[in-house]
Amino acid sequence: MITDYIAHETLLATRLSADWVKYGAIATGIAAGSSLLTLFYAASALNTWKKQEKTKIRSEFKRSLLALDYAVHMMPDEWDFLMAQRVRMGDRAYMISGDNEAETALIELKKCWHNSISAWVMCEGQLKKTNLTKQWNELSDLYVDFLKGKVKKLTILEKLTEMHSVEFIFD
């Protein structure tokens, strides 16, 4: 009878142990499911974050174009080849009234151009689906000619207006 009792107690202990193993397996399954769910939400959050960053970069590019537009507006209306030469040489003896303001405006224009280039580079080809790449190249050529006094202010402003009209931030 003692052997039956021992066998019965062993059976009960084994059954209880099996129940604990079952509960452990269920808990492990829930933990694995929770891990997969967390992984899904993390991937979703990462994709959302990437989209937000792309939107920020595009917004910064458009903002830099607006600042460049303002800097071009601040350039003298009579900006031409001769004024560009006088300002570029920086010879105070040959400066005419207004050339100092033109020099200050030119410095600000160059800062805004640098910011626009930086923003363009940060876009890393995101805007290839638009015609902005072609327009950016045209704007670059106009900017170089404008600095030399070969292009009128209105021409570069028209190109900037054309670029502002392109909707590319929330594509």
Q: Are 123 and 63 in contact (CB under 8 A)?
A: no
pLDDT tens digit string along 115-138? Answer: 999 999 998 778 887 888 899 999
DSSP state of 75: S
Q: Are 66 and 164 in contact (CB under 8 A)?
A: yes
Mean pLDDT, all residues of the chain: 88
Q: For position 64, what pLDDT does the model report?
A: 95
Mean pLDDT confidence for 61-66: 94
143 compared with 4, residue with greater pLDDT: 143
Contacts (Cβ under 8 Å, ≥6 apart) of 156: 72, 139, 142, 143, 146
The Cα 54–Cα 41 span in angstroms is 20
Q: What is the pTM of this model?
A: 0.73
Q: Are 171 and 129 in contact (CB under 8 A)?
A: yes
pLDDT greater than 60 at residue 95: no
What are the structural domain ranges in the chain? 51-164
pLDDT greater than 60 at residue 42: yes
How distant, in Å, are the alpha carbons of 93, 108, 151 from that of 76?
Answer: 20, 13, 13
Mean pLDDT confidence for 104-124: 92
3-state secondary structure at position 155 = helix
Mean pLDDT confidence for 147-154: 92
Q: For position 98, what pLDDT does the model report?
A: 56
Q: For position 91, what pLDDT does the model report?
A: 59
Mean pLDDT confidence for 17-32: 93
The Cα 18–Cα 128 span in angstroms is 62
Give the pair of three-digit tokens for residue 132.
């902005």
Q: For position 125, what pLDDT does the model report?
A: 78
